[in-house]
Chain A
Amino acid sequence: MIAILRALPMGPTVTLSWRRSAHVIERNVMNYRRNWFYLVSGFFEPLFYLLAVGAGVGRLVGTVQTSGHSVSYAAFVAPGLLASAAMNGAIFDATYNFFFKLKVERTYEAMLATPLSVMDVAIGELGWTLVRGMLYAGGFLAIMAVFGDCHSYDAMLCLPAAMLITLAFAAIGLALTSYMSQWQHLGTVALAVLPLFLFSGTFYGLDAYPGWLQEVVRCSPLYQGVALLRALALGHLSALLLIHVLYLVLLILFGLFVVSRRLARVLTP
C-alpha cells in the first residue's frame, strides 16, 4: 500500500513524508482539546440507532435469515450500523470539516508554507479521520459485544474492516469536497449519504429487492462495507470477503489520487 502511494503521480513538489503527515493529525488533536465534547458526541448517534432499531425494532422482528443462518435481528443490524457509523463519521470530517479548513480558515495554506506538502496534508487528514473513526468503531464494537451481538472472535476483525470503510469514505469525501466552492454544495453530500444509509442492506438483506436492483445495490460502497462487517461479526468467514476489501482499497487509492491532484491545483496554482 505504501509502495502504491509513493508511486502515485504527484509531481516533483508533492512529496510525501509520514512524519510530516503526523503533524496534521496532531493539529486536529490540539484543536479538539478545546472541543472534546463534539468529538464524544459523534459516538452516541450509532449507539442510539442500536438501541432503537436493534433492541427496539428487533423485538418485533425476532430472528432473520442471513447466509443460510438464523440470527437475532439485533445481531443482524448491528454490523450494518457500525458500517454506517464509519461512513457517517468519515464523511462529516471529509466534507464539512475539510471544507472549513480548505476554504474558510485557509488552514492548509498556512501548512503549505512550511515543509508540509499537499500529499502530507491529504494523508494527514485521512489519518485524523482514521483516528477518530477508530475511537467510535472501537466503542461501538465493545457495546455490540456487551449486547451479545458478536458471534465469534472473528468479530475483532470488524475493527480493521471498519477502518477500511472509514478510509474509503474519507478519501472519496475529500476528493468530492475539493471540487466544491460554496457551503451549499455540501448539501448534496447529505442527499447522497442518506439513501446509502437506508438502502445499502443496513436494515434488511438484499433479497428484499428485485434481481436487477440487487446488482445495483451491490455496487454501493456502503453495501460492500456492510456485507464485510456482517460476515465478520457473525463469523461467516470466506475468501470472497477479500473482494469487499479490494473494492474498498481501490476506493481509497482513487480518492487519494484525486484529492492530492486537486489540492495541488487549488492550493499551489
Chain B
Amino acid sequence: MEPLRDEVVHASALTKTFAGTNAVDGIDLSIRRGEVFGFLGPNGAGKTSTMRMIACMSPRSSGDLLVRGLDPTFAGPEIRAGIGLVPQEDALDSEMSVFDNLVIYGRYFGLARREVRARAQVLLEFAQLADRASTKVDHLSGGMRRRLAIARSLISRPELVILDEPTTGLDPQARHLVWDRLFQLRSEGVTLIITTHYMDEAEQLCDRLVVMDRGRIVGEGTPRELIASTVPREVVELRLNPGATPALLVALKDHVERVEQLADRICCYGEDGDAILEAVIATGIHPLSSLVRRATLEDVFLALTGRQLIE
C-alpha cells in the first residue's frame, strides 16, 4: 500500500503488542484529509491503542505508520505539533483556571503568549465557556470539562483532531452540545478521528468508519454501506416467554434472513419488518413485546462479531 497525497494517516499491518498479546493485530488504515473517521468497537477492541499510536504517544510494535506524511518513530514532536488530542479522561489541570488551561497548553506548542491569549478567547466562545474563563477546572461539570478539553486540543490549530470516546459519561444534553461542536469543526475542514462504542454516535458523526474487534478490523465503509452490506434492512425485536423461542424459530424459518438470539430478546432480520411481525402473529405464539426498526451499526457489529457493543 503506497500512501496517497491527501492521506493524513496511512497504516499497513500496524500492530501493537502488550506482554505477548496483540492489542492491535495488523490493521490497514487510510484516513483522508477533511473526513470524520470513526473507530467503532467494544472496550478492549484496540481502539485506544491505535489512537495512541497515531497520536505518537505509543511506539508501534510492527507494521508501517505515517501520520501527516511522517514516521512517528523519528518525527514525534513534529507530528504532534499538528495534532489535537482529546483524551478520554480530559487530563486538564484541575488547580488552574479554564483560561490558564488553554494558555499553558498553547505554550507547550511554542506559541507566543500574546497569540495564545487571543486564541484562547476565541476558543472560550467556541466551547461556550466564555463566562467561565476564571473558574477553576475543579468546579466545572463533566460536559464543560469535555468542551474545554476539545477547545484545548484546538489551540495549536491542528489539521487533525483525535477524540477518544468524546461523549462517554455525558448526559444527553451535554452530548448533543459536544456533537454540535464537532459538526462545526468538520464544516471547517478539520480531519477528525473519533473512537466510540456508541453506534448512534458513529452513525451521526462519521463519514467513514472501521469496526474493530479483538485488535482487528472486521468491517469498513460509510455507516450506510456497512449496514447495507452486512445486514438486511429491517429488524424485528421480540421478547418472548421462556421456552417459546425454539418453536417460534422453527415457524419463522422461511420468513427471516437471519436471527440473533440475545440474552433478553431475539432479533429477526429481513427486508420487510412488518411482514415478519405478521408471520410471528400468524404462528399463534404471542411475544411479550415487539419492535420493528431499521437495522443500525449495532446490528452490523452483532453480525460481524457475534457480540453486542455494550454488554
Contacts and interface: CB of A to CB of B under 8 A. Distances in A.
Interface of A: 11-13, 15, 17, 19-20, 23, 26-27, 30-31, 34-35, 105-107, 109-117, 267-269
Interface stretch (B107-115, B200-208, B221-229): B107-115
Interface SS of A by simple majority: loop
Interface residues of B, number: 38
A34 B95 contact: yes
Minimum-distance CB pairs A-B, first 3: A113-B85, A114-B108, A115-B77
Interface SS of B by simple majority: mixed
Contacts of A26: 104, 107
Given A27-B104, A31-B96, A34-B96, A110 B91 contact: yes
Q: Which of A23, A27, A115, A267 has the most CB of B within 10 A?
A: A115
Contact of B93 (A11, A23, A27, A113): A27
A177 B188 CA distance: 44
Interface string B102-125: 011101111000000000000000
A116 B79 CA distance: 11
A116 B87 contact: no
B76 interface: yes
B72 A13 contact: yes
Interface in B207-259: none
Contacts of A27: 93, 104, 107
A115 B78 CA distance: 7
Contact of B104 (A30, A35, A109, A117): A30
Contacts, number: 88
B277 interface: no
Contacts of B62: none
B110 A13 contact: no
Contacts of A115: 77-78, 80-81, 108-110
Given A12-B73, A268-B58, A109 B91 contact: yes
B56 interface: yes
Interface string B64-107: 00000000111011101101010101011111110010011101
A81 B275 CA distance: 88
B287 interface: no
B108 A23 contact: yes
A19 B77 CA distance: 13
B130 to A, nearest CB: 20
Contact of A268 (B18, B57, B107): B57
Given A31-B96, A115-B108, A15 B87 contact: no
